[in-house]
Amino acid sequence: MGNRIFWNCIFKLTGLCSLFVVPTKPLILQTAREFETHLPGIPIGLYYGEKNDPVSNGVNICTYTSLQKHFDLNKLLESLRRN
């Protein structure tokens, strides 16, 4: 949780488009809830197994597995490549 609070501050201060990678789907959902609470108004995209809904600005959250799988297949969405 401490790392997410730190990154909340970084995202809020810089306004950069970011990719936040976590190990599991439950952590994606938990992280998204925390970002929504602490970063109101910043778009949050989710990218994992059955949910592929990244944003072109804001914060995208994905699992290591999804990132590696789509990167290896050269199918990583452009919005994630730019992060």
DSSP state of 76: -
Which residues, 6 or more positions from 28, have their beta carbon under 8 angstroms from its beta carbon? 22, 46, 48, 61, 62, 63
Residue 50 to residue 37: CA distance in whole angstroms = 24
Per-residue pLDDT of 8-62, as tens digits, reads: 677 667 767 788 899 999 999 999 998 888 778 888 989 888 778 888 778 889 9
DSSP state of 39: S
Q: Domains of the chain (ranges plus CATH)?
A: 2-81 (3.40.50.300)
Tokens at 48, concatenated? 């994992």
pTM: 0.73
Please tell me which of 20-24, 49-53, 63-67, 75-79 the model is most confident about, judged by mean pLDDT: 20-24
Which residues, 6 or more positions from 49, have their beta carbon under 8 angstroms from its beta carbon? 25, 63, 66
